[in-house]
Amino acid sequence: MLRPSLAYLSMVCLSMNVMFGLFNLGGGEIILILALVLILFGAKKLPELAKGLGTGIKEFKKATREVTDEVSNAMDDTTPPPKRLTQPPPPAPVVETTAAQTAQTISQLASDLEIFASPAFGYLTLDASLCRASVLMPQKRNPYALAVLRGGAGTLLGRLTGLLATGLTPSARTDNWLYAYGEVAGAVDLAGRLARLGTAVVAGLCPDTQVLRGQADRDFVAGADLAGELSLRCGLDYRTAYRVVGRAIAAAVGRGDQELNAALVRAAAEEVTGTPVPVTDEMLAGATDPAALVAARKPPGGASPPRVREHARQVRRRVAAARRWNQARRKHIAQAEAELLAAARDLASHPEEA
């Protein structure tokens, strides 16, 4: 009976070598531990103990290999990147930031419209339903809707600042989320109302095309386009063409003229370059006509009518896609809510099974 026990003891020694090596144990300490094992468990338990130790060491090595493989794979540059989520749910500050940015854009539009609709400019008028009479001056109508848009945008910016300030909490604390629950819903609701009001403002605009056309022909607004035309057709670098046009405009203003003529541009070009430049009335008219200049803005994002219509179509497509996503999410939320309520009713009707 003693020989098998010694054989199993040898197996135990061999199988435990790795584990003991992990803890930097010496020979004397290993003999002491094995003696204690023999006394506590007896010779009959040694085969079972050896088998358990062998299984444990095998699992330990397997786990070690798996960890090593994972680290190697993580360091391997050829590993494909993880798939991105299609539409990850944005955190609360992002939702409120988006709402504030939307309202801020509408606020900037409202500020510009208030200037352009003033009597000093008269470029456009707002629908009467969006204005109200001045309290002090009976002849004046204030664009009240524009003030509401600007004030609402300021309110949203203040809410965003307040929500961000609530995040100044100790580590591992989420109490500030209590503020986000109400603030995010309120911000989205206010941004939606401001967007609808802004839509009504734009729909009710009435531009004065005659006034706008008259302003487009004044103050040498086509100066940069004329410099570009001189560069293309007369072989001047843009900086030199810029100086030529600037010199011609200065001469016209000094004479009290409201527009350039070919003689002024030719004189300025010869003064700047020292050589005659063939500037004709036809070239000058084509380079300074507002309608032609707008029609020439054909690159992507340009101001030509086809490009503006193209951009409008793109915006409509994006809005339609956003609406489809919104409807799908609402449907999913409603279904999840219905299932949750059904489960709650089922638990309430069978309390003994809970």
Residue 215: what pLDDT? 85
Residue 103: what pLDDT? 84
Query: Would you tell me how many other CB atoms lie within 10 Å of the CB of residue 48?
Result: 11
**Does 278 share its domain with 258?**
yes
User: Which DSSP string do the residues of 23-85 spell out, in sequence order?
Assistant: TT--HHHHHHHHHHHHHHH-GGGHHHHHHHHHHHHHHHHHHHHHHHHHHHHHH-TTSPPPPPP
**Does 179 share its domain with 230?**
no
DSSP annotation of 204: T
Using 50 as the pLDDT threshold, list the residues of the chain that sit under it: 1-9, 11-12, 14, 18-23, 25, 71, 75, 77-79, 85
**Does 97 share its domain with 205?**
yes
Q: For residue range 217-272, what is the model confidence (pLDDT) as tens digits?
A: 888 888 999 999 899 888 899 999 999 999 999 999 999 988 889 999 999 999 99
Residue 3: what pLDDT? 45
Q: Tell me the whole-structure pTM to 2 decimals.
A: 0.59
* Structure token pair of residue 42: 């007896």
Residue 325: what pLDDT? 92
**Does 105 share its domain with 166?**
yes
Of 295, 317, 343, the domain-final residue? 295
Contact 46, 12 (CB under 8 A): yes
Domain span at residue 125 reads 92-212
Residue 216: what pLDDT? 84
Per the structure, the count of domains in the chain is 4
* Structure token pair of residue 27: 């020979």
CA distance 155 to 186: 11
Cα angle 280, 249, 305 (rounded to 5 degrees) comes to 70
Residues 6 or more apart whose Cβ sits within 8 Å of residue 338: none
Residue 125: what pLDDT? 92
